[in-house]
Amino acid sequence: MKIVVDAFGGDNAPVEIVEGAVLAVEEKKDLQVVLTGREDKIKEILNGRTERLEIVQANDVISNDDAPTLAIRQKKDSSLVKAFDLLKENDDIVGLVSAGSTGAVLTGAILKIGRIKGISRPALCPILPTIKPNKTVMICDSGANVDCKSEHLLHFAIMASAYASAMTGNENPKVALLNNGVEEHKGNELCKETYPLLKKLPINFVGNIEAREVMSGDVDVIVTDGFAGNVLLKSVEGVASGMSKMLKAEAKKNVFSMIGAVMMKKFKGLKEKMDINKYGGAPFLGCKKLVVKTHGSAKREVIKNTILQVAKLHENHLNEKIEELVLAMTEKSEA
């Protein structure tokens, strides 16, 4: 199995990206990684470690300042566009990982790879931690589609349900609709229209969920439009980081230095628990091939996790499952 990695995307590129790829092939013996970017730099970092690692030369880099569509169309020699070209042209390459500009990754996926038949809008689906040990929750969409119709939310629901199954092995993940109340009649027009349609899907739809229950661990998937999903995701990040800062300040104030030190350690543990990046990246669900965007600040461990995540999704036939579900859904609505 081969995965292509954009070695020059992200704040810590290329060192952390390349080192992450090395860790991934070390951990998974049937995995090959293709790294795109400046060959001389990558070779320097690899320093002779070449087993199951290929390099494809790319001179340019797409940054967060580049307009996504323009960048994908014009920066043909960038590490990201090269990676997409490889993904598109090679049947044995099953997926792509990038820590680069989210906009460019989404645009590249749409323009270069295309959508699964029947899916009108691919969606970004990050993972959040919950208060239950080893239990996470997926948010779909978290920002790729800021204006949605109910049809899009239905697609998000089946895609994220299939994704949750592929990641956790749970064959019947609980899918909820993000809403401002739990009762069926609650919500904006989009939610009210979508709720009854979600009930008809061949997934385990469990009703509405309020944002305050997101971390409860009671559901596996939360479906929402990309605007509200983005607000949800970023406020979780913001509060977690804000509280960590406040806790740190409290700990520093502590006069007993030993207690202060123990507290800091605990806070660090909590911060790690709240860190959404350790779970890997956010797949762009609904593309013909697996595309996973990981955080711009990702270091080698996160890069490794993200590459292994792509391998897992491929082995668990995520895209085939999405195709089946969308077909079942279309047939049902035509019947």
Q: In whole angstroms, what is the distance from residue 70 CA to residue 103 CA?
A: 11
* Residue closer to a second copy (CB basis): 196 or 202: 196
Q: Which residue is listed with tokens 């952390």?
A: 16
The first and second tokens of residue 226, run together, are 């990309």
Write the single-letter amino acid at 171: E
Binders of a second copy: how many residues, by CB under 8 A?
53
**257 torsion bin: left (phi>0), alpha (psi -120 to 50), beta (else):** alpha
- Sequence-distant (6+) residues with CB within 8 A of 54 are 32, 33, 34, 35
Minimum gap (Å) between residue 16 Cβ and a second copy: 22
3-class SS of residue 56: strand
Q: List the x/- string, 27-66, binding to a second copy by CB under 8 A.
A: ----------------------------------------
Where is 80: in which H helix or E strand?
helix 79-89
- Fill in the DSSP letter of residue 111: I
d(Cα 325, Cα 321) in Å, to the nearest integer?
6
Q: Which amino acid is at 160?
A: A
Sign of the torsion formed by the C-alpha atoms of 241, 130, 122 and 192: negative
* CB closer to a second copy, 202 vs 269: 269
Among 27, 44, 77, 147, binds a second copy (CB under 8 A): 147
SS3 content of the chain, % helix, strand, coil (to 5): 50, 15, 30
Q: Cβ 237 to a second copy, closest distance in Å?
A: 5
Give the shortest CB-208-to-a second copy separation in angstroms. Answer: 12
Indicate the residue among 222 and 322 with the shorter CB distance to a second copy. 222
Strand partners, 174: 204
Smaller CB separation from a second copy, 34 or 153: 153
**Closest CB to a second copy among residues 228, 313:** 228
> Which residue is listed with tokens 């230095």?
257
Candidates 143, 173, 281, 283: give the one binding a second copy (CB under 8 A). Answer: 143
Q: Which residues from 269-328 bind a second copy, rule CB under 8 A? A: 269-270, 273-274
For Cα atoms 36, 125, 221, give the angle at the middle one, nearest 5 degrees: 150
Find the shortest distance in angstroms from Cβ 76 to a second copy.
25
When the beta carbons of 95 and 226 are compared against a second copy, the nearer one is: 226
128 in Cβ contact with 219 (< 8 Å): no
The closest alpha carbon to 162, from 34, 3, 10, 313, belongs to 313
- In the region spanning residues 217 to 256, those forming contacts with a second copy, defined by CB under 8 A, are 224-228, 230-243, 245-247, 250-251, 254, 256
Structure tokens at 108: 């590249």
Closer to a second copy by CB, 30 or 256: give it: 256
Of 76 and 245, CB closest to a second copy: 245
For the window 176-205, what string marks contact with a second copy as x by the rule CB under 8 A?
--x-x------xxx-x--------------
Binding mask 96-135 for a second copy (x = CB under 8 A): ----------------------------------xx----
The two tokens of residue 229 are: 């999903």
**Min separation Cβ 271 and a second copy, Å:** 10
- Which of 73, 117, 252, 266: binder of a second copy (CB under 8 A)? 266
Binding site for a second copy (CB under 8 A): 130-131, 143, 146-147, 178, 180, 187-189, 191, 210-216, 224-228, 230-243, 245-247, 250-251, 254, 256, 258-259, 262-263, 266, 269-270, 273-274
